[in-house]
Structures are given as structure tokens and as C-alpha cells.
Structure 1
Amino acid sequence: MNSIFAGILKIWEFFANNILTQPAYMIGFIVLIGYMLQKKPWYDSLAGFLKATIGYMILIVGSNGLVTSFRPILAGLKDRFHLTATVIDPYFGQNAVTDGLEKTFGRSFGDVMILLLIAFVFNILLVRFSKYTKLRAVFTTGNVQVQQAATAFWILLFAIPSLGRIEVLLVMGVLLGLYWAVGSNMTIKPIQQLTDGGGFAIAHQQMFGIALVAWISDKMKQSTNKKGNKSVKRLEDITLPGFLRIFNENMVATAILMFLFFGIIMFVLGESYFHQLFITSNGVSGLAKGASFFFYILTTSLGFAVNLAILQLGVRTFVGELTESFTGISDTILPNSVPGIDVAATFAFGEQNAVTIGFLFGALGQFLAIGALMIFHSPTIIIAGFIPLFFDNAVFGVIANNRAGAKAAMILPFLSGIIQVIGAALISTWIGMSKFGGYLGMFDWDTVWPVFTVILKYLGYFGVIIVAGILLLIPQLEYRKDPKNYFLMVDDYDAYKKNKGIE
């Protein structure tokens, strides 16, 4: 029996390390399975696998380019002002868990991968029985699953330290699997409306945030309509006068705004900091001796526009294949379902300037909140991480602009930025992760999960039931709002629009 279990575990480890936690291959694998279930010729299935995998790899190049270029700049603020601080970034958060699990709880990070397996299988089961659960989305973003499993593992060990190893894995496996299924399910409506039936949901770190932004945006639009304005002004509807018209072009607007934004930060850090960063032996980007600081800032800022364009190309390359192939899975194995994928997939839809505007106003909110933490002598000072700074707030800008216009695209990411910093400071200090220099820091983990942590900490086992009950209730309430069209939204979006009278 032990040898059988060990064999199964080895197979799982191989699948987890090489496919599940490698989003490009996971997406390619899903496309391959979908086309095979549709009984397409092997060469068409192979082509679909390659196109989807390569497309996702292109997205990763753009995404990693954004993060790699600007993480040292934001980290430089920590070094420049000699702050002992917590960086809100998924990878810093994962490193904090890796470093702190043994020291704080005497547990191994290896259990995180077992937790991930339990949560993933439970997510699939919840969708398989969608007739009863009303859940329609499978969480497929493997790198995000690892980050969340790590932080969730820490949270449960902190909240209910009396749990044994098996109990921790089972309890948090169920709760995390529910969060993945429920959260990605909540994004289906706003994402289907944004993409006009793109056939996917978001499986990332701000799923509840996307649903909340969509709901608030709709309320803002209703308020505008009550005041007699029949339509809202979106960013794409604004025609700027004179020389400001150059901002109507996405790449130009992005380049100029990023030059101003990062130019100020890089100027504050100083030329000497970037000279020190220049290490040719391992390819770290920095300023060579004798090179122009101005053109270094310009090149770094323009790189933002370049990487964003690469990211959008990747999205366009793989989304079509994924949508078409997933019908094979939804028709046979997982009826009434869609795949949940990386949040970056939204950046190829809607107004492109909304991505930049969402990022900039979210950054403004974050920096103001960080200043407030310093003024009020918070025990934990937060350092902005690029991933929450950009990926949360950019998608909020896109969703808000699409539903309620330019004003919403500025206000909601700004508020999000404040919430990210304050929420991360509170939860990371309380659960003890701030001592290890990092916290996940994305929107849901600064809002929803702190609430869950309070419930679990003070109500124990009964709290587990309450959290699970809340998560199970959400899709039931969504279904009751429109039972006739709830599943039609993912099965046939054109028929859904016809039923709803949407042009």
C-alpha cells in the first residue's frame, strides 16, 4: 500500500512540477485534451497545443518583462531610505512562507504541494457537479495556485494551531478549492461582458475584487443615469484637445506616463544606485559607467510599453485556441464550465489606456497609504510590489472603464491601492509574515482572506464551517438572480445576449 501511495505521489509531483505549476504547459495541455475529446485529427490537436503554449509563453515574456524591469526600482526605495519593510508581492510572499514555516510552525513547505493537489481536485469536483454547486470555472493558473497554497497554509496554521498535519491539508484543501471555484466563477459575468463572450474566467489573486469593481461600477453608472446623463464617458470617448491628442494613442500615452512616473522614482533613487545595479555577469539591468542616465530612464520607461504590447500579443495568440478547445471538455467531462486563466488576458480587451490609467491611480493610492503608515509609525511598513501595483489595479481600470467610464477607471483603482497597503500591513503583522519580509499582497488577500482569518482564528472548527458555508452560498445567490440564463452565459453567449436584449 505504501509503495502504491508513493508511486501516485511521484506521478503527482511530476505532473505538478512540469504541467500544473507551469501555466503555459497547463493551458497547452487543456487545449490538447479539449481537441482530442472533439476527435480532431492528431495534427490539429498538436497544432492547437503548440499555439496555445507558445501564446502563453509570449504572455509570460511580456509579464516577466514588466516585473523584472520595475521590481528593482521599487525595491530600491526600500534600500535608498533604509526601511525594514514587508514587500507586497506574490513571490516575496512565497519566499516568506518558505523561510518562516519551519521557524514559526515547525512545518515543511513540501506540504504546500499536497495542499495544492487537494484543492485542485476539489475545484474540479465542484465544477463537475455544477448542477448542485452552480460553479462553472476551473482554476488553471498554476503559479498562482502555488503562491496561494503557501499563504493559505500559513493562515490556517496561525488560525488553528491545534490541527494535525492531515487535518490542516484537508481543511485548507477544501477551503482553498472552494475559493478557487467560487472566486473564478464570480468573474464570469464581468469577463464575458468585457470580452463579448470570450469563453473564459479569471483565476488569479483579485477575483472577488473584479466582481466588486463590476458591481460598484454598475452602481456608479446607475447614479449617473439618474442625474440625466444617458451615457457615461469612457476613456476611448474622450477626445483631447491640441497636443494632448497624442495621449489618444495607447503606446504613446503609456510611454509618456511611464516616463513621468518611473522617471521621478528613478531620479529620487539617484544615478549611483543604478550604477551599482549594473552587473553584466548575471544580466541584471543597470546603468553602465559613462552611459546617459536620461536615456537609461527613457529606455526603461519605454520598455513598459514594449512588454505590454508583447503581453497583449500572447493573449490574442492563445485565448482563441483555449476557447475553441474547451468546448470539448465542457461538453463531455465538465459541462457548463469555462477555464479560469491569468488576469493578464483581460489586457487585450477594452480600452488599452485603461490599463495604464488603472495602474497609475492604483500606484497613487498605494504611495499615499505607504506615506500614512510612515506618518503614523506603523509597526509594518509596506513596500509596493509591482505585481499587485499593476495586475490588480490595471484590470480594475479596464473593468471599471468598460462599465462606468473614465471616472470609475480612476477612482476604483485609487481606492484599491489604499486598501492593498492598509490591508496587507494589518494581516501580515497579525499573522507574523511581516517578520520574514514578504506577503502575497494582492487584493483578495488584503480583504477577503483577512476576514476569513478572523473567523477561523476566533471560531475555530465552527469558523471552518462558516467560511465554507459563505463560499458555497455565493454561487447559489448568483444563480437565483437569473436561473434561466445563468448557465447559458457560458454555454451560448449569443443566445444569452438575445435573451437579455443586449445588442
Structure 2
Amino acid sequence: MFDLIMKDILGQPAILVGLFAMCGLLLQKKNFADTVSGTLKTIMGFVVLGGGATILIGALDVFGKIFDKAFHIKGIIPNNEAVVAIAQQTLGTETALIMVFGMIANLLIARFTRFKYVFLTGHHTLFMACLISAVFSTTGMKGASLVISGSIILGLLMVIFPALLQPYVRKITGMDDIAIGHFGSVGYLAAGFVGSKFGNKEKSTEQIKVPKSLGFLRDTSVSMSLTMAVLFFIVAPFAGKNFIETELSNGQNYLVYSFM
């Protein structure tokens, strides 16, 4: 029975995250319908995320083989979605625990220190939990030590990064009521410093007019799909039609396979 609970139930990341969501809904005193709905939606969302991760890993694996054949070098794709996909498959339970306990650590730090920042950007919290679990696991850490240390690091990052940018947020918005919850804050901090020295406060990027014909590029999924298609089309001819159709596409035209 213990093995059933620990391995088959709590060992499933989707169920684990769903249970934490249920606890949160119960603490908010939500009614039965909202609790069931919220719990199931959380579980389904995590399952869908895992499915997307599998698709992404498959696409990156194919691209790596084509790139290797074309240029005879091992390509590295510095993409956070790739890390998320791999961590979801290999360290799903650890990632889920680091995410949940990292959020708890964030709340405790915000409650008992002067850093009153609560990080609400959920998908970035997941991204960082995946990254931390992947990096820490390469050092040999596992189990409780991985989860505890990862949760503490995540909780600290969730208050430090908003605090770094708050002087610029205060200057731009004129208030202290909001903060930026994003783990790209070091880059934004550098941009803010450069902008404060060389920028023009009278001109805003919001004033830049983008042609309506290119408006579809604002959609992240569309722009990402086009970018991947272009990369495949560039690399595929170098790998060769015969290699792709015999080794990868099972006879499908190599250009059509690259697009799909």
C-alpha cells in the first residue's frame, strides 16, 4: 500500500501537482464543484504539458540528427523549452516538488523579510524548477536533498529577481504596487541601466508601428513554428535528400518532412 501511494500516485507529477492545487482550493474554501474542476484542470494541464514536451523532444532530436549529418558537428540548442521537456520526462516528480515548495519558500521569505515580492508568473516558476532539478541532478544530488536545496534556491530567486528590477519599475510606473516576475531580470537590469544612460524618455517602443501584414508574428506559436521550419529548410539540403528520406522520414519527401 505504501509503495502504491509513494510510487504510483505521488510518483506521478501530474497527480502530485493536482493534489497541491486541491489543497490550495480547499484552503480558499472553494465549493465542491470548483475544487473538483480546478484539480482536474490542473492535472489535465500538466498531462498536456508533458505531451507537448514529448513532441518538442522528438523535433529537437530529429533536428540534431540532421544538423550532425549536414555539418558533422554536434549542435547545441540553448532553449529553455528543451530543458523543460527533458526535465519533465526524467525528473518530473522532483520538478513538481521543487516548484510547489519553492512557492512556499517564496511566501515565507516575503512574509518574514523586507522583500515583499510574491512571484506569480507560474510558467516561469515551472521553467526554473525544471532547470534547477536538471542542473542539481548532474552533481549527483537526488531525493530529499535535491528537492530541499532546489526549493530554497527557487524561493530565493523568486524574490531576488523582482527586487533587482524594482528601482526601474518604480521609475517607470511611479508606484511600488507591482513588480516584474521574470527570470530574465539580469538582462532587463542591464537594459535598464543602458537605457537610463543613453535612452530617450520621450520615445517608447510602444510607438513603433508594425505593418498589419506582419501582425501574425506577434503570435508566439506562429513565430516559433515559422522559425523552426526555416531552420529545418536551411539545414535539410546540407544533410541530403537521401539521408532524410531513408533514415528519418520513412520515404516521405524530405522538404515536406522538414516542414512538418
TM range (shorter): 0.5 to 0.7
Q: Determine the C-alpha separation between the residues in 1 that align with 2:63 and 2:7.
A: 36
Say whether residues 1:219 and 2:186 are aligned partners: no
Structure 2: runs of 5 or more not aligned: 170-176
Q: Determine the C-alpha separation between the residues in 2 that align with 1:127 and 1:30.
A: 15
TM-score, normalised via structure 2 length:
0.63
2:210 aligned residue: 239
Match of 1:131 among 90, 96, 111: 111
Asked whether the 8 Å contact 2:20–2:100 carries over to 1, the reply is: no
Alignment-mate amino acid for residue 239 of structure 1: V
1:249 aligned residue: 216
Per-residue CA deviations over 1:189-243 (Å, capped at 9, x if unaligned) read 77xx8xxx999956xxxx3xx1202212322432453xx4512335x83324xxx
1:78 aligned residue: 68
Query: CA 1:15/1:179 → structure 2, altered by over 3 Å: closer, same or farther?
Result: farther
1:17 aligned residue: 11
SS state at 2:35 partner = helix
Alignment-mate amino acid for residue 46 of structure 1: V
Query: CA 1:92/1:49 → structure 2, altered by over 3 Å: closer, same or farther?
Result: closer
Give the number of aligned pairs.
232
Match of 1:274 among 244, 255, 258: 244
Q: Determine the C-alpha separation between the residues in 1 that align with 2:196 and 2:85.
A: 40
1:29 aligned residue: 19
Superposed, which structure 2 residues align to 1:61-460 within 5 Å? 61-83=51-73, 90=83, 124=104, 127-128=107-108, 130-133=110-113, 134=115, 136=118, 144=131, 146-153=133-140, 175-188=149-162, 207=183, 210-225=184-199, 228=200, 230-233=202-205, 237-240=208-211, 246-250=213-217, 254=224, 256-278=226-248, 286=249, 288-289=250-251, 291-298=252-259, 300=260
Query: CA 1:68/1:246 → structure 2, altered by over 3 Å: closer, same or farther?
Result: farther
Q: Post-superposition shift, 1:39?
A: 1.6
Q: Post-superposition shift, 1:47?
A: 0.8
Higher relative contact order (CA 8 A, sep 6+): 1
Q: Determine the C-alpha separation between the residues in 2 that align with 1:29 and 1:60.
A: 17
Match of 1:50 among 40, 48, 62: 40
Query: CA 1:37/1:229 → structure 2, altered by over 3 Å: closer, same or farther?
Result: closer
SS state at 1:131 partner = helix
Query: CA 1:15/1:73 → structure 2, altered by over 3 Å: closer, same or farther?
Result: same
TM-score, normalised via structure 1 length:
0.36
Q: Post-superposition shift, 1:45?
A: 0.6
Asked whether the 8 Å contact 2:119–2:181 carries over to 1, the reply is: yes
SS state at 1:249 partner = helix
Asked whether the 8 Å contact 2:67–2:74 carries over to 1, the reply is: no
**Aligned Cα RMSD in Å?**
4.7
Structure 1: runs of 5 or more not aligned: 1-6, 99-108, 155-164, 279-285, 301-503
